[in-house]
Every structure is written in structure tokens, then in C-alpha cells.
Chain A
Amino acid sequence: MAQKTDDSNRNLVVKLYRWLVDGLERTVYIGVQYTFPKRFVSPLGYLGVLTGIVFLVLGITGGLLMIYYQPTLTGCGSLTCAFSSVQKINDVVPYGWLLRNIHYTASNAMVLLAILHMYYQYFSGRFKIKNEVLWVTGIILGIITGVEAYTGYDLIFNQRAGLAIEIGSGLTNAPPVIGGPLRLATFGAGFTDFVLRLYSAHVFILPMVMLILVFIHFPRYMVFDIPVVSTVVGAIFIIAAFFPVPVSTQYDPTVGALTIPEWYLTGLYALLRTEFDKFVMGGLMPGLLFLMALVIPFVDTSKKLNWKDRPFFTALGITSIAQILITTAWGFYINPDASLPTLDRLLVPPDLYFGSMIGVTVLSFVLTYAFLRYLKAKERVRKAVAPTAPLLTRKWVYFLFVLLILAQVAFNGLAAAAGAAADAAKVAQTNPLPFDSLTLFDVGAVLVTFGVLIHLYRYSQNLPF
């Protein structure tokens, strides 16, 4: 924690901050050391912190969405309450569209960041510096993140949720012995219960478990890099503005839909479609993958950190990525021959599927070993890098400051105007979508600008006078 320093010549804000930090000394937060880096450091090292920040964004937007979302089916006329309340959030509630799309994009970002975080720790060997508990809790957190995302998009009860329901039925029905109770525990006595149960899991149980695990998983050193955090959050807003997710149509179990689940579930979907036992394919196979991930720190115990010095584990990591990509790609596969019955179109041919999986394994190993050998052969002597002159002078930095502030003002103005226009459109019952997305884009741009500005500020602090 921050060292006690002489406060006499500090201003009130700093004093208050020190008082707070000292007060936290006896709390859980004492275990965490945080740094605000004085210069740019690669975010690869703190992808975990970024994942946590996105989790926070999800918590805030999710909490707000709860205010209008109704986790029931009956009582809202011809549509289910679950579905129609999301429609209402999307189309009628001011800023509802923004919050929903931020929530959606952030959920994708969180899954992605978590995966990147794991692979970076894996290949860089940094997980060896920490202990095994951190790795294991990280893997468990990753799994829960996936489940959390899955429970979330089922709640809408739209066509895509229906597909998730299919996957869920395949997974919970299939296991021997515990299958029945497991199915009842997840789905209850029907879809009404199902939505309620997933809701309670999504908004309370799973986040609570995640929070508890996060306290174990927290490293002692946390990098809180305001520019990067602000940019990442802003980027999520901007992506959400450009790729809004439609509410789609309500889940209709009477038609066989050929939809594809969210990208992080298509792999599972492909496995389930290989005509083999649902439990083996949907339960044991992914289970095996997670088990492999869990035991990594107990198996890869060499002192070598660099991926170049751990050819086997590098090849294994590459294989896992390749396999995940291949299953995911198969998940998107639907036989293009429309004359075939639905089931045949959905079938993932097992010989091709497993053939491609084995092929990609062999290929990954061969290529990795070949590449590492090649690297060793042409081991280059590194030249000392001459210190470069600073890119910008103070004058330019100040000029950019002014520009960025002006940009922020402009984006703020645009956001306010677009927000008002969206409200007006909702009242007039015209399409508010362009204004909503413009608002979201502007707010995202404000955040990104702020990130850049802070970075520039820190840059200027290191410049010679």
C-alpha cells in the first residue's frame, strides 16, 4: 500500500486520498498493490485487470437493465414478458438501447479478453511466476464467464435463446445419474422456471461466485492504466454503436430454425451436432479441454518462461487455439444443400470433423517445432537500441491538448443533441436507431479522447523542459 508520506505540503485532495488509502489498510484491499503507470506499458501484462473492468461495466449496465427487464413469460399478452420487456428496453426506454448494446458488446469483450489473458499468461510463461492457485481460479473464472454469458442471452427468449435452450437440453439431459436432477435444477418445470432460474443465476449467483473467486485471483500488483481503461471502455461503446444487436424474433419452438449461437458457443454446438452421444460430445469433450487447461501449471513445471524454450507446451497451446478455431468454424457450418431435411443439414460429418481436428493437431505440432528450429538457426544478435528523441515537443503537446479538449466538447455536444433526437423519435414513434447509435458513438469517442488526453498528459510529464 501507499507509504505514509509527509502530508504537510499536500493539497486537500491528496490528503483525502492518502487518508482513504491508509484507511483501507486493514481491509481486503490491502493485498492489492496498484500502479498508475508513468508511461505506456503493454496492456498484455494486465489483460486480467481489463477483463475485471469490463466485468464492472457489465455489472453497472446489467444492474440498470434489471429495472425494466421482466423474467417471466406469461402476463404480457401474446408475447412473453421476457421478450417484450427487452423489446421495450430496446425501443422505448430512453438510453435503453445504449445500455443493452453496451451490455451485449461488453459481454463479448469480456469473454474475448479473458481468453486473450489466459493465452498471454500461458505463452509468456508468466503464470509460472505466480502460484498454481491463481491459474486454477483463473480457469474456473473463465468457465463461469462463459456460463454467465450463456445465461445472459437466454434471458431474452428470442430465437437465439432457443438455440441455447437446445444446447442446454443436450447438456443437462445427457449425463448419466445426475442428468435428471441437473435438468430440473437448471430448467425447473418449464420455460417459465427456466427463465427465472437463469435470471437468478445471471444477475446474482454467478456474479457473486465470480467476485469471491476474483478476490483469490487478484494478483498483488494491479496496473490501473487510466488511458487504456478509458480507451477500452470507449472502444466497446463505439463497437456497440456500429454493430448493434437486434432483439430478433421471439423463440418459437414450433419451427426448426437454422440459427447459429454466439461465437463462443459455436464450438460446443458443432460437437453436439456430430451424431454421437450428447453427453460425451457436449459434456466430456469440453470437460477434457478444461481439465487440460487446469493441470497446465502442474505439468509445465520447467523453469523456462519463454515460449521459445518450451516447444512442447507452445505446440500444445497452438494446437488448442487451432482446435478451438476449427470447432468454432464447424459450429457455423450448415450444409448448403437446402433440399436436405433440417437434421441432415445440421449434421456435422464426424469423419471430416474429427479428421480435421486430428489433422490440425499434427499440423500445429509440426509447424511449431519447425518454426522454433528455424528461429534457433538464425538466432540474431540484438543490437542495442539507440535512445530516440521524443516524438513531440511540449509546444505540440499543448496544442494537441487543446485539440483534444475541443474534440471532447464537440462529441459532448453531438451526444447531447443525438440523445435528444432519439428521445424525440421515441415519442414520435419514428425510428430512433440512428440517433441512439450516434449517441453511443459520441459517448464512446468522448471516453477514447479522454484516454488519449491522459496518455498525452503523462507523456508530457516525461518531456524535458
Chain B
Amino acid sequence: MVEEAKEKTSTESNTSSEEKKVAHPITQVQVTQQKPQVSAAVPPRAVVSPAPRPTPTVAAPATRPPPPQMVGRRNFVKALVTIAAVLSIVPFVPWGSFLSSSVGNAGSYKRQKVVIDAKSVYGAAAGQVVNVNDLNTFPPDSHWVITYPSSGDATLDAQNPDTFVKYELIRLPAGALGGDTKNASAFVAFSKVCVHLWCSPNYNPDPAHQQYECPCHGSIYEVPEGLAKYGPAAQQDAPTNAIPMLTLTADPNGDLNVEIPLWDVEHNGVLGYGRDYLSYRNYIKPAALGGS
């Protein structure tokens, strides 16, 4: 409380240093009350209520006020010091991106061939590089899990439980959605992290479904754009109502590739957050998905 009282006098009365030395009566009272009493286990300290303390006034001690130009100069110097202090903090603000960087320990984001995680359930497709021309290994209306960024070893990837590096690779159903065309547009790769509460959705190839379904609270994303059309994710405001996705392209020989993603809502989306599906539409249009 001593400190507080001091602070009060210094902030509320803009006085010279000689004035401050003359302790204000109120300050003095509080100083005396502050003396600790060493007695019982929990000694009742002087019961000072935190009731509003009478504010010290400038006029109380009778000392000669400093000439006005002195005060002005002093205030000017104080302002300079404050500016200097702020300037010495400002350069550290961008350092916050050390914390909020999306680089992480997952690996580096490079253009990468699409390789199916080496899991036995995927049979012949396990550990294989996806080729858009191979309709036997990668038939329409099927789905696999891929890892991006990959460790380069499909077996290790398969063991990685971090769903933030997992994507559901879906070859769209044949027909209207064009899953049987032999180019990259036959495929989509949706994030395995639901934008609702981060469970892992799966593609349901059942002809009555043919959509991306989350097991936790029943969010359903349509294919191929990944916009939630049902469940809690659908109730969220745009852009948090569409699942982030990877941009896929095909090499001349048909090998499928992941293009380096842009992790913001206008492009590939923010994992576990969302994607503006309309902006993404415009983003991939010039990328000429139909082949290349």
C-alpha cells in the first residue's frame, strides 16, 4: 500500500521532486499502518478498508511551484522516453509469428507425388503412387488416406497418427462427377480434420451417400467441393463451413501430385478451421485441373 500511495501522489499530482519528498499526510498514515505486527498465527492486520481513499491534492504542501516552461520541458522529455520505450517493444511484435507459424514439425511443404499410406486394408493400392490412368488400382467411388507432407516412407506415414497431416483421397464416382475421367479432376483430397471439433471424417462410397461424413457429430460434406451441407459444420459461418483440401495435378504420365498448398481460407484452407469454397473455386480454375 505504500507503493500505491506513492504512485497515487506521483501520478495524480504532477509535481516537482522536492514536493514529493514532503510526504503527504495521507501517505504518512498509511506508512504507519503498514508496520507488520508479528504475533499470532494469522495476525489481524490493521483493518484498512479498501474504501475509496481521499485523493491527495496538489495544493497541500506549500512549496514553490516550478516555472511553467520547466514543466513543459519535463513533460516533453517524459513523452520522448515513453515513445522510446514503445519503440523498443514494437520490433518484437512480429516475433509472435514464431508461435503462430504454420511451419510446425510436420515436415516441409513441397510439391509431392501422391502416395497411398501403406496400410493392408488398401490392398494393391497400399504404398503406391497414384496414377490417374490406373482405373483398376484406383477405381472410381473409392477412398484412401494419404499423408502430406509425407516422410517419404509410406509405411512410416501409415503409422503417423497426426490427423493434421492426413487427407482423404477420393476418386469421385463415375458419371456426373467424372470419377472415371483420366485426369486430376477425378480426384479430391479432403483434410481428415473436421472443421467442427477436429474428428476425422470418412468418405462414404454408398451410392445413397457418396459424401464425406464425420463420425462424431454427423457433419456431412458434399463432394467434390467439400462444403458442409448437414450437421454442425454446416451451421458454422463461412468460411468455417468447408473442409480444407489439397490441390491436385497430374503429370503427363498420369502420376498425381500435391501442389504446394497456400494455408489460408481463400486458398487451400486452414486445417481444422475452414476454407472459403467460392474463393477456392476461382483459385483452381486457372490451374487447369483437367489434365496438364
Which of chain B's residues has its CB closest to A79's CB? B161
Contact A301 B49, beta carbon cutoff 8 Å: yes
B38, B43, B156, B231 interface centre (most CB from chain A within 10 Å): B38
B38, B100, B103, B235 interface centre (most CB from chain A within 10 Å): B100
Q: Which residues of B contact A182 (CB under 8 A)?
A: 100
Contact A253 B42, beta carbon cutoff 8 Å: no
Which of chain A's residues has its CB closest to B51's CB? A301
Q: Which residues of A contact B160 (CB under 8 A)?
A: 73-74
A132, A192, A196, A346 interface centre (most CB from chain B within 10 Å): A192
- Contact of B164 (CB < 8 Å), options: A41, A191, A257, A302: A191
24 contacts between A and B (CB under 8 A): A45-B41, A46-B42, A73-B161, A73-B162, A77-B159, A165-B198, A166-B198, A181-B97, A183-B272, A184-B101, A184-B102, A189-B271, A190-B106, A190-B162, A192-B106, A193-B104, A221-B36, A253-B163, A254-B202, A275-B235, A298-B50, A301-B52, A303-B49, A341-B217
The digit string for B6-24, where 1 denotes a CB below 8 A from any CB of A, is 0000000000000000000
Q: Which residues of A contact B193 (CB under 8 A)?
A: 253
Contact A255 B215, beta carbon cutoff 8 Å: yes
Q: Which residues of B contact A180 (CB under 8 A)?
A: 100, 270, 273
| Bound-complex Cα distance A452 to B272 (A) | 54
| Bound-complex Cα distance A74 to B157 (A) | 9
Q: B216 at interface (Cβ–Cβ under 8 A)?
A: yes
Contact B50 A301, beta carbon cutoff 8 Å: yes
Which of chain A's residues has its CB closest to B1's CB? A131
Taking CB atoms and an 8 Å cut-off, the chain B residues in 146-191 that contact chain A are 151, 156, 159-165
Q: Which residues of B contact A191 (CB under 8 A)?
A: 161-164
| Bound-complex Cα distance A106 to B249 (A) | 54
- Contact of A342 (CB < 8 Å), options: B41, B216, B271, B272: B216
Residues of chain B whose beta carbon lies under 8 Å from any beta carbon of chain A: 1, 4, 36, 38, 41-45, 47-52, 96-97, 99-106, 151, 156, 159-165, 192-193, 197-200, 202, 215-218, 231-232, 235, 240, 270-273
Q: Which residues of A contact B97 (CB under 8 A)?
A: 181
Contact B38 A302, beta carbon cutoff 8 Å: no
Distance to closest chain B CB from A342 (angstroms)? 6
Contact B50 A132, beta carbon cutoff 8 Å: yes
Q: Which residues of B contact A227 (CB under 8 A)?
A: none
The digit string for A125-150, where 1 denotes a CB below 8 A from any CB of B, is 00011111000000000000000000
Contact A189 B105, beta carbon cutoff 8 Å: yes
Q: A187 at interface (Cβ–Cβ under 8 A)?
A: yes
| Bound-complex Cα distance A405 to B244 (A) | 66
Distance to closest chain B CB from A69 (angstroms)? 17
Distance to closest chain B CB from A392 (angstroms)? 22
Contact B216 A256, beta carbon cutoff 8 Å: yes
| Bound-complex Cα distance A46 to B197 (A) | 41
A45, A132, A166, A275 interface centre (most CB from chain B within 10 Å): A166
- Contact of B197 (CB < 8 Å), options: A37, A170, A297, A298: A170
Residues of chain A whose beta carbon lies under 8 Å from any beta carbon of chain B: 33, 35, 37, 41, 45-46, 73-74, 77-78, 80, 128-132, 165-166, 169-170, 173, 179-185, 187-193, 196, 220-221, 223, 250, 253-257, 275, 297-298, 301-303, 305, 341-343, 346
Contact A303 B51, beta carbon cutoff 8 Å: yes
Q: Which residues of A contact B1 (CB under 8 A)?
A: 131
> Known: A33-B38, A74-B159, A169-B272. Contact between A254 and B49, CB under 8 A?
no
Contact B105 A192, beta carbon cutoff 8 Å: yes
Contact B231 A221, beta carbon cutoff 8 Å: no
Contact B271 A190, beta carbon cutoff 8 Å: yes
A188, A250, A301 interface centre (most CB from chain B within 10 Å): A188
- Contact of A221 (CB < 8 Å), options: B43, B49, B99, B272: B43
B51, B103, B202, B216 interface centre (most CB from chain A within 10 Å): B216
- Contact of B100 (CB < 8 Å), options: A130, A181, A298: A181
B4, B38, B198 interface centre (most CB from chain A within 10 Å): B198
Contact A74 B162, beta carbon cutoff 8 Å: yes
Distance to closest chain A CB from B158 (angstroms)? 9
Q: Which residues of A contact B104 (CB under 8 A)?
A: 188-190, 192-193
Q: Which residues of A contact B165 (CB under 8 A)?
A: 190
Contact A41 B41, beta carbon cutoff 8 Å: yes
- Contact of B42 (CB < 8 Å), options: A223, A298, A341: A223
Contact B100 A342, beta carbon cutoff 8 Å: no
> Known: A173-B240, A192-B105, A255-B215. Contact between A187 and B51, CB under 8 A?
no
> Which 10 A/B pairs are nearest by Cβ-Cβ distance?
A189-B104, A190-B164, A256-B216, A343-B217, A181-B100, A184-B100, A303-B49, A185-B99, A166-B197, A253-B200
| Bound-complex Cα distance A165 to B165 (A) | 16
| Bound-complex Cα distance A297 to B159 (A) | 54
> Known: A78-B159, A169-B272, A343-B217. Contact between A33 and B36, CB under 8 A?
yes
A73, A74, A341 interface centre (most CB from chain B within 10 Å): A74
Sample of 12 more A-B contacts, CB < 8 Å, known A189-B104, A192-B106: A129-B44, A166-B198, A169-B197, A181-B97, A183-B273, A196-B105, A253-B198, A253-B199, A256-B216, A301-B52, A341-B218, A343-B218
Contact A346 B217, beta carbon cutoff 8 Å: yes
B44, B215, B235 interface centre (most CB from chain A within 10 Å): B215
| Bound-complex Cα distance A253 to B145 (A) | 14
> Known: A191-B162, A220-B36, A302-B49. Contact between A342 and B217, CB under 8 A?
yes
| Bound-complex Cα distance A305 to B99 (A) | 45
Distance to closest chain B CB from A41 (angstroms)? 5
Q: Which residues of A contact B163 (CB under 8 A)?
A: 190-191, 253
Contact A256 B215, beta carbon cutoff 8 Å: yes
> Known: A169-B198, A220-B36, A301-B50. Contact between A129 and B41, CB under 8 A?
no
Q: Which residues of A contact B42 (CB under 8 A)?
A: 41, 45-46, 221, 223
Distance to closest chain B CB from A155 (angstroms)? 15
Distance to closest chain B CB from A218 (angstroms)? 13
Which of chain B's residues has its CB closest to A39's CB? B41
| Bound-complex Cα distance A343 to B233 (A) | 11
Distance to closest chain A CB from B188 (angstroms)? 19
Q: Which residues of B contact A254 (CB under 8 A)?
A: 199-200, 202, 215
Q: Which residues of B contact A302 (CB under 8 A)?
A: 49, 51
Distance to closest chain A CB from B118 (angstroms)? 13
Which of chain A's residues has its CB closest to B235's CB? A275
Distance to closest chain B CB from A160 (angstroms)? 14
A41, A130, A180 interface centre (most CB from chain B within 10 Å): A180
| Bound-complex Cα distance A333 to B123 (A) | 43
Q: Which residues of B contact A192 (CB under 8 A)?
A: 104-106, 162, 164
| Bound-complex Cα distance A196 to B36 (A) | 46
| Bound-complex Cα distance A77 to B161 (A) | 10
Distance to closest chain B CB from A300 (angstroms)? 9
- Contact of B272 (CB < 8 Å), options: A33, A37, A129, A187: A187
